[in-house]
Amino acid sequence: MNLFKQDVECSDVLKEILSIQTKKYPKMDLVDLRPKSTFSQALPIDIFMKYNSEFEKKHEGLIPNEIHKFLSDFLSRDLSVEEWLNQIDDLRASNQDPLLIALVRIIRGSMPQFVRAISLGIFNPLLGISRSHLNSFVHPCIEATLWHIAKVNYEFGEMSTANHTKKDKIRAR
């Protein structure tokens, strides 16, 4: 069953994984199959490799080859901070593919923050997850991606709730 309690059909390898999960962790509802998760690392290597291969085949078509090549070529460079910032400033879409144009806009809008953060060495704010990390790096990337690909306006920041508001009113008295 999926999270909505609907039946889903699983591959043989996924059935094997679920069988292992049920035996080792009978009370666990969710299975963490990220490569570095404790559960994935406890799986027999042949089962994990089958799953990984199945996963890649299923998802490899989600990113068009041209986009994959563009990202691989662009991100595989070994550049200094200044060179990265210049490359980002000079970045242009080579054709009129709307997805490539959106990707270039996302990179130009969000990557300079990451380059600057990495250049700070041990003071890199990306080394620890905090509210400033989310507000300075993660949320702007999500915002740019959603806007440039789907024209969705993503807003982030603190949201007050009924409980939050009541506490503030009580303190004010």
pLDDT band at residue 58 using 50, 70 and 90 as cut-offs: confident
Torsion of CA 13, 15, 21, 23, to 10 degrees: -120
The arithmetic mean of pLDDT across residues 1-20, rounded, is 82
Is residue 84 within 8 A of residue 107, CB to CB? The reply is no
Residue 170 has pLDDT above 50, yes or no: no
Is residue 1 within 8 A of residue 7, CB to CB? The reply is yes
Q: What is the pTM of this model?
A: 0.54
Q: Which of 96, 107, 95 is nearest to 144 (CA)?
A: 107
Minimum mean pLDDT range among 13-27, 57-71, 80-94, 144-158: 144-158
Which residue has tokens 């998760």?
37
**In degrees rounded to 5, what are phi and psi of residue 32?**
-95, 105
CA distance 48 to 35: 9
Residue 47 has pLDDT above 90, yes or no: yes
The arithmetic mean of pLDDT across residues 40-47, rounded, is 90
Residue 173 has pLDDT above 50, yes or no: no
Highest mean pLDDT among 80-84, 135-139, 161-165: 80-84
Write out the H or E segment, with its range, that includes residue 34: none
Per-residue DSSP letter, 137: I
Residue 46 has pLDDT above 90, yes or no: yes
What does the domain layout of the chain look like in residue ranges?
Answer: 12-60, 65-150
Helices (H), the chain: 12-24, 38-42, 45-59, 65-75, 81-90, 98-119, 131-133, 139-150, 162-172
The arithmetic mean of pLDDT across residues 102-125, rounded, is 83
Residue 168 has pLDDT above 70, yes or no: no
**Would you give the distance in Å from CA 43 to the centre of its chain?**
24
**Strand, helix or coil for residue 14:** helix
**Would you give the distance in Å from CA 52 to the centre of its chain?**
18
